[in-house]
Amino acid sequence: MKIVFATGNLNKLKEINEISDGSGIEFILPEGDFNPEENGKTFEENSYIKAKAANKISRKMSLADDSGLCIEALKGAPGLYSARYAGTQQQKIDKILKELEHSTNRKAKFVCVMTLLDENGEVIHVSKGECHGEIALKQSGINGFGYDPIFIVENTGKTMAEMPEYEKNKISHRGKALSDMLSYICSRL
């Protein structure tokens, strides 16, 4: 079964196709440039906005992932604004390391909310995954994407960027949200 994955982020697409490998489900990109305005106030709202935009284009079953990094000492920032917190990814990382320079509280979590719509654009299922950890003092590792080099996963001592893909996918916010979503799809559809 093919499901449209409402994203412009190829790293996300790669991860979810790895996680769902062997499930009989393949996620494909929507046609054309995909960059709807994400003006929701929650991960749930933005995930719905993206799934709806993909469904409007394709008229097919569509899944969206809205995710972000929430840092306790920054009152949950960058949160919803994780993709737009600064210019380049390196600048986003540098900004966070600077903001936490004098902070002993480095607790953080990654959040992922997925919304699945049917062909008619109706919500079928919403799933959520979180991964807890802390912000490293300096970046480390080259795998993954985004904030992975500064996010140390709880109980591992490793940043997400120091983990091979299969290890990240087992414990990540996206891995958890997708696993719930796949169980739902496989049991109901």
**Which residues bind to ligand ITT, rule: CB under 6 A?**
7-9, 12, 38, 50, 65-69, 82-83, 110, 144-148, 160, 172, 174
Closer residue to ligand ITT in complex, CB, 70/185: 70
We find the least distance from the C-beta atom of residue 187 to ligand ITT, in angstroms, to be 26
66 belongs to the catalytic site: yes
User: By the 8 A CB rule, do 89 and 45 touch?
Assistant: no
Rounded to 5°, the CA angle 47-42-60 comes to 15
Give min distance, CB of 82 to ligand ITT, in A.
3
Closest separation in Å from C-beta 76 to ligand ITT: 13
**If you write DSSP's letter for every residue of 80-109 in order, what string do you get?**
GGGGGSSSSHHHHHHHHHHHTTT-S--EEE
Nearer to ligand ITT, 41 or 102 (CB): 41
- Our CB check for ligand ITT shows the closer of 81 and 104 to be 81
Residue 35 vs 105, nearer CB to ligand ITT = 35
CB atoms within 10 A of CB 1: 10
From the candidates 21, 65, 66, 180, which is the catalytic residue?
66
Closest alpha carbon to 184 in 127, 99, 131 = 127
Tell me if 10 sits within 8 A of 57, measured CB to CB.
no
Q: Which of 43, 185 has the CB closer to ligand ITT?
A: 43
- Closest by CA to 35, choosing from 59, 7, 11, is 7
Own/partner pairs for 73-77, CB < 8 Å, 24+ apart?
73/100, 73/103, 73/105, 73/106, 73/107, 74/99, 74/100
* Chain centroid offset of residue 19 CA: 13
The catalytic residues are 66
